[in-house]
Each structure stands twice: as structure tokens, then as C-alpha cells.
């Protein structure tokens, strides 16, 4: 970047950055809105009152964790264990926080607080692509635009789902929609061998440990699965080096 | 579950989620994260989701149920196939629900 670029060019003003961030989030909303609708419908059909169901989206704002919380609430797990599970499921956001930290380091707390609040998978993907393009002067406005767009869509789609869920009579087999939703969530994560190994190991351990108390049959297999994924990654990296593969 | 328990979950879930997202913006210099931990984070979603899906599809009252008579397993497998081929959220869920409903009628 040359100094003559600052203050000019395509990313020169806060308002434009904000709108571009919002615009670039739109294609991703196609994939997010169905989950919001299904979350709202499942939450009310699991017996969660309307206001609390919407509050999950308002306050936690994390798709997978919200679905898993509903599944554990339906299984009458303890609140402590549910919060612990939300923590583990959302730990991956640490990686996003670490990746974007150098870009927001110079901002005031007034910026850092809302931006970290909006740091979901989808906002990370779009915002990090923006930061790779350079011209960072007003890029935090882009981050804000993309994050707020996602947040608003998540609230509206949850609300729509709650309204639809209230129309569905109970006991119609919607509980099966939850594992199907998990299926739709897991498929895009199975991108390589270590990810498959992590999933297969966690699935196997979840069968072996299904009778553990406090729903620990979820967390312990998940941690073991992550360990297996790491082991496979390290092994295939070594095999790659042995073959002279630079990757 | 009582309303107060639900609010414990909502506010507790909010606190832990927000602390994670804030972590490197405020508290920890990014180079402090051990390499193995950074790599392991990527495997959390597939591992957690598999540990949720597999018992839901394979266990019936705590025992393994591996047959075509297990409608959840058959319908779940159809949904997995549809999801894998199409990559579409709606089609994945609707195909599984449809298969489940049809199997119940047979």
C-alpha cells in the first residue's frame, strides 16, 4: 500500500464500508436463515417459552451452540453442563478472535466490544476476506456492517420460526428434525481426513459412553474425537514430509 | 425445565460465548496460543456434532439398533446422502423428515 492510497479508492468512507459489509453478508444469509427458522420452531416445540426462545438468539447468537442447548434442555441436562457444552462448542471462536485481533488492536473499547459480540463463523469469514484486501483505515465499519446484518437476519429468522413452530401441533415427530439439522451442520465440516477421523472417533465413543451421567456422553467423546483428529493430522503431515510434499 | 433455569443457561451461555470472542481482542496476545490448541479447535464442530448424531440414530433405549427396522437410522442415512450430494440445508432436513414419515406409514 502506498500512502497515496489512504483516504481514496474503493474503501474510503465509513458509510460505504458499512454497506459493503452488509452486502457481502447477503449470500451467506441464504444458508443461515433456514437454521434460524428451524431453531425457533424446535425451541418452542421443545417447550421453551417464546420470549426465552428468542432470547437464545438475542443473547447467545451462536447457531450450533443454540441447537445443542435445545437438545440438552429436551434431555433435561443440568444448566451447568449445558453452559459448559456451549463453552466447548464455541471455543473455535477463539481462533477467529486471535486471527482478527491484530486488525482491531488499535480500536477503542467502544469498537472492540460490539465487534467481538458479532464475531460468529459467518462474520469471521466475510470480515477476514475484507482485511486480506488491505486499505484497513475504515475496515472496522465493514466488519460492523457484515456482523449486524447477520445478527438482524438471525433474530428475524428465529422469530419467524417461533411463529411457525407455534402452529405445529406437538408430538408430530419434530424431535427428529434436530439430528437432521446436526447432519446439515456437520457435512460442510468434513473437509479432509483428520476431520472425518475426529467425527468417526467421536461417534464411536459416543456409543461406548452413552450411559455416562450428566450427559458427559457428549463432551468426553467430543474431546477424544478432537484428539484423534489432531493425531491423524500430525501423522499425515509426517507422511507428507516423507514423500517430499511441501504441504 | 423452569424459566429460571432457562435464564441461567441463556445468561451463562452468553457470558462464556462472549468471553471467548473477546479473548484475543482484550486479554491474550495471539502468539500465546499453543500450536496444538490452535489446530485442535478446527475439529471441535465435527466431533461434537458426530457425538450428537450417532447415538440419536443408532441407540434405542440405550441399546444398539443396527437394522432396516430402525427408521431413524434409515431416514438419517437418506438425509446424509441428500445433504452430501446437494449441500442444501432445507433438502437435507426435509428429505430426512419425509423418509421418516413414509417409513412410519409402511
| 3-state per-residue secondary structure call for chain A | CCHHHCCCCCCCCHHHHHHHHHHHHHHHHHHHHHHHHHHHHHHHHCCCCHHHHHHHHHHHCCHHHHHHHHHHHHCCCCHHHHHHHHHHHHCCHHHHHHHHHHHHCCCCHHHHHHHHHCCCHHHHHHHHHHHHCCCHHHHHHHHHHHHHHHHHHHHHHHHHHHHHHHHCCCCCCHHHHHHHHHHHHHHHHCCCHHHHHHHHHHHHHHHHCCCCHHHHHHHHHHHHHHHHHHHHHHHHHHHHHHCCCCC
User: 0.80 cut: is pTM over it?
Assistant: no
State the Cα–Cα distance between residues A189 and B53, nearest whole angstrom.
Answer: 14
Q: What is the pLDDT of residue A100?
A: 86
pLDDT in tens, B12-69: 999 999 999 998 888 877 677 788 877 888 888 889 889 989 998 998 877 888 898 9
Which residues of chain B does A73 touch, with a Cβ-Cβ cutoff of 8 Å? 1, 6, 9
Cα A47 off chain centre by:
24
State the Cα–Cα distance between residues A101 and B25, nearest whole angstrom.
Answer: 5
Chain A within 8 Å of B81 (Cβ-Cβ)?
no
Q: What is the pLDDT of residue A20?
A: 93
Chain A within 8 Å of B64 (Cβ-Cβ)?
yes
Q: Which of A118, A55, A59, A60 is nearest to A85 (CA)?
A: A60
- Indicate yes or no: CB of A79 within 8 angstroms of CB of B5: yes
Chain B within 8 Å of A4 (Cβ-Cβ)?
no
Angle, alpha carbons B27-B32-B37 (nearest 5°): 110
- Between positions 27 and 46 of B, the ones with CB within 8 A of A are 28, 30, 33, 36, 38-46
Contacts of A93 (CB under 8 A, 6+ apart): A62, A119, A120, A121, A124, B17, B20, B21
Q: Which of A79, A38, A37, A83 is nearest to A60 (CA)?
A: A83
Contacts of A71 (CB under 8 A, 6+ apart): A178, B52
* pLDDT by 10-residue block (mean), chain A, 247 residues: 44 86 86 88 92 96 91 90 92 83 88 93 85 86 96 96 82 72 85 95 93 76 94 87 54
Q: What is the pLDDT of residue A3?
A: 42
- Indicate yes or no: CB of A97 within 8 angstroms of CB of B97: no
- Indicate the domain borders of chain B: 1-33, 43-106
Q: What is the pLDDT of residue A32?
A: 84
Return the C-alpha cell found at A51: 420470549
The CA distance from A225 to the nearest CA of chain B, in Å, is: 5
Chain B within 8 Å of A235 (Cβ-Cβ)?
no
Decide if pLDDT at B7 tops 90: yes
Residue B3: which of A49, A85, A198 has the nearest Cβ? A49
Q: What is the pLDDT of residue B38?
A: 77
Helix, strand, coil tally for chain B in percent (to 5): 80, 5, 15
Q: What is the dihedral of CA A66, B9, A229, A208, to 10 degrees?
A: -100
Chain B within 8 Å of A202 (Cβ-Cβ)?
yes
> Residues A124, A100: contact at Cβ < 8 Å?
yes
- Indicate yes or no: CB of B89 within 8 angstroms of CB of A184: yes
Return the C-alpha cell found at A41: 420452531
- Indicate yes or no: CB of B25 within 8 angstroms of CB of A210: no
Q: What is the pLDDT of residue A5?
A: 42
Cα B44 off chain centre by:
10
The CA distance from A7 to the nearest CA of chain B, in Å, is: 26
> Residues A187, A59: contact at Cβ < 8 Å?
no
Residue with cell 491484530: A102
State the Cα–Cα distance between residues A1 and A71, nearest whole angstrom.
Answer: 49
The CA distance from A15 to the nearest CA of chain B, in Å, is: 24
ipTM score of the complex? 0.85
Q: What is the pLDDT of residue B30?
A: 65
Instruction: Number of A to B CB contacts under 8 A, please give it.
Output: 260
| DSSP class of B33 | S
Q: Which of B12, B13, B42 is nearest to A94 (CA)?
A: B42
Cα B30 off chain centre by:
28
Chain B within 8 Å of A56 (Cβ-Cβ)?
yes
Amino acid at each position: 500500500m502506498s500512502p497515496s492510497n489512504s483516504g481514496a479508492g474503493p474503501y474510503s468512507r465509513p458509510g460505504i464500508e458499512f454497506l459493503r459489509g452488509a452486502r457481502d453478508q447477503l449470500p451467506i444469509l441464504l444458508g443461515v436463515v433456514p437454521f434460524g427458522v428451524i431453531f425457533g420452531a424446535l425451541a418452542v416445540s421443545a417447550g421453551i417459552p417464546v420470549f426465552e426462545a428468542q432470547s437464545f438468539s438475542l443473547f447467545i447468537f451462536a447457531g450450533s451452540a443454540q441447537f445443542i442447548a435445545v437438545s440438552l434442555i429436551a434431555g433435561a441436562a443440568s444448566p451447568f453442563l449445558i453452559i459448559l457444552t456451549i463453552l466447548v462448542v464455541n471455543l473455535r471462536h477463539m481462533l477467529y478472535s486471535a486471527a482478527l485481533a491484530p486488525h482491531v488492536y488499535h480500536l477503542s473499547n467502544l469498537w472492540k466490544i460490539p465487534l467481538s459480540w458479532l464475531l460468529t463463523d459467518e462474520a469471521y469469514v466475510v470480515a477476514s476476506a475484507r482485511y486480506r484486501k488491505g486499505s484497513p483505515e475504515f475496515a472496522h465499519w465493514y466488519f460492523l456492517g457484515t456482523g449486524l446484518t447477520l445478527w438482524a437476519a438471525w433474530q428475524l429468522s428465529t422469530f419467524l420460526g417461533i411463529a411457525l413452530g407455534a402452529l405445529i401441533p406437538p408430538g408430530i415427530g419434530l424431535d427428529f428434525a434436530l439430528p437432521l439439522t446436526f447432519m446439515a451442520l456437520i457435512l460442510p465440516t468434513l473437509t479432509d481426513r483428520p476431520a472425518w477421523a475426529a467425527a468417526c472417533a467421536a461417534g464411536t465413543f459416543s456409543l461406548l459412553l452413552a450411559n455416562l451421567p450428566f450427559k458427559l456422553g457428549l463432551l468426553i467423546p467430543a474431546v477424544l474425537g478432537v484428539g484423534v483428529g489432531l493425531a491423524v493430522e500430525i501423522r499425515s503431515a509426517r507422511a507428507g514430509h516423507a514423500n517430499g510434499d511441501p504441504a | 425445565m423452569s424459566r429460571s433455569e432457562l435464564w441461567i443457561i441463556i445468561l451463562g451461555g452468553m457470558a462464556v460465548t462472549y468471553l471467548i470472542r473477546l479473548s484475543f481482542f482484550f486479554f491474550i496476545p495471539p502468539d500465546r496460543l499453543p500450536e496444538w490448541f490452535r489446530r485442535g479447535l478446527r475439529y471441535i464442530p465435527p466431533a461434537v456434532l458426530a457425538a450428537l448424531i450417532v447415538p440419536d440414530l443408532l441407540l434405542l433405549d440405550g441399546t444398539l439398533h443396527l437394522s432396516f427396522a430402525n427408521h431413524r437410522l434409515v431416514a438419517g442415512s437418506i438425509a446424509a446422502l441428500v445433504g452430501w450430494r446437494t449441500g442444501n440445508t432445507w433438502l437435507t432436513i426435509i428429505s430426512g423428515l419425509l423418509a421418516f414419515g413414509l417409513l412410519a406409514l409402511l
